[in-house]
Amino acid sequence: MPTQKFTRRNFLQGCSAAIAELAGARLTNVAFRQDNSSADTLVVVFLRGGWDALNVVPPMAGDDRGYYELARPNIKISNLLPLNDQFGLHPALAPLHGLYQQGKMAVVHAVGLNYDTRSHFDAMEYIELGTPGQKSTTSGWITRHLQTQGVSSILPALSTSGAPSSLLNFVPTVNLNDPSEFSQWDNGLAASQQTALRQMYNGETLLHRAGIRTLDSLGIVSPLVEGEYQPSNGASYNDDELSQQLKTVARMIKLETGLRVATVDYGGWDTHEYENDGDGGYIAELLGNLASGLSNFYLDLDSGYTNKLSVVVISEFGRRLVQNESYGTDHGHGNVMFALGGGVTGGQVYGAWPGLHNDQLYDHADLAITTDYRQVLSEMLAHRLGNADVASVFPGYVPTGEMGIFRE
């Protein structure tokens, strides 16, 4: 994405965000400061298109391996990286397998949106709103989480690829692809213009105070993001879209601006055709980028930040068990999620496995769902983000027990 010029519209958008914050929070003289909250920073990686859970984490042995190979003679995955006696990880995910073995990553299988839809748009909307079957919801689940917790920093929420529905109606969200976009000095705002803007917003109304706060914020962040970013611990981000987004998030976390939530999108997972060629092909490239991006992101932040980091990888639905005539897979139901972070009880595959026999499949076609995705998020909210108000974040949903994925 090209760097955006600092325009009057950009400035007014910043003022609008600041007004919303000033209206609901006490104004301080410190524009950017480390958030003293004990809660983790949440990073949600949404894989848009519906990734293929059964090729990401296939059964490795037993009857289900036989059903899997019979259903996918041309696209089955071999040479799996063992997770336990039952499941293996796609070989392209080798860097994440290392994190799994170190207990820093957990896998949740047969998880997902427990609502009958095969529409990308509906499924994504329901997941991000947090109210399956209801499109009239006026806020996203992350919005409600942040609202119940209160907002104490100028940069509570960051999106690196547009405004997802999970942050619907959360005005202080910053949409940022590259932190250098914060620099108004490099984007054409000359000293004379700064002076003029400060004179223009010299007043006591919310608009005036928001304008000054926006200018102050830009002035503080600009010097912090000057120069080339140097990742820690030898981490090296590739040039693909996902890696660059994660690099941006890592950089903003290290600025210690009080970032509470970041959302990252990575598309291309609608694998209807030529999904796999042995252990390579289209899905292997996607998974390779995912593994490289996440592993380097974790390595970069494993310099004092991962103990307060929770990463969730999610997609709108899985794929059908049986391959189609185009050597791909069509829209399915049950899925797989990943969780990474210092508070994750990793090295385990969570969730009740329903099986792949025809009588065990959802609609005799898909992996069944035994864990609602909100169960995973609810546990994370309660144990890592300090929010036990699940009824407000996910109205109408009642968690069922504890899976033990996240530690206090």
pLDDT at 206: 67
Strand ranges inside 37-195, DSSP E: 41-48, 81-82, 88-89, 105-112, 157-159, 174-175
pLDDT at 205: 79
CATH code for the structural domain at 39-179+233-393: 3.40.720
Q: CB–CB of 281/82 below 8 Å?
A: no
pLDDT at 194: 72
The torsion angles phi and psi of 64, rounded to 5 degrees, stand at -65, -30
Sign of CA dihedral 322, 312, 13, 221: negative
Q: CB–CB of 231/247 below 8 Å?
A: yes
Record the pTM.
Answer: 0.86
pLDDT at 178: 74
CA atoms within 13 A on the CB side of 231: 22
Q: At what angle do helices 241-254 and 282-301 cross, to 10 degrees?
A: 10
CA distances for 134 relative to 48, 96, 397, angstroms:
20, 35, 13
Max CA pair span of the chain: 74
Q: Rounded distance, CA 372 to CA 388, Å?
A: 17
Q: CB–CB of 223/255 below 8 Å?
A: no
| Nearest in space to 399 (alpha carbons), one of 384, 385, 379 | 379
pLDDT at 282: 87
Q: CB–CB of 375/114 below 8 Å?
A: no
Which residue, chain included where needed, has tokens 């992996």?
A: 367
Q: Rounded distance, CA 285 to CA 301, Å?
A: 24
Low-confidence residues of the chain: pLDDT under 50: 1-8, 11, 16, 18-36, 184-187
pLDDT at 190: 58
Which residue, chain included where needed, has tokens 């400060």?
A: 198
pLDDT at 186: 46
- The DSSP result for 336-403, as a single string, is EEEEEETTB--S-EES-----SGGGSBTTTBPPP-EEHHHHHHHHHHHHSS---HHHHSTT----S--
pLDDT tens digits for range 132-147:
999 999 999 999 999 9
| H helices present in 76-186, as ranges | 94-101, 120-129, 141-149
The torsion angles phi and psi of 17, rounded to 5 degrees, stand at -65, -45
pLDDT at 185: 46
Domains of the chain, residue spans? 1-30+184-224, 39-179+233-393
- 25-61 in b/e form (b: 16+ CB < 10 A) is eeeeeebbeebebeebbbbbbbbbbbbbbbbbbbbbe
Which letter does DSSP use for residue 280 in this model? B
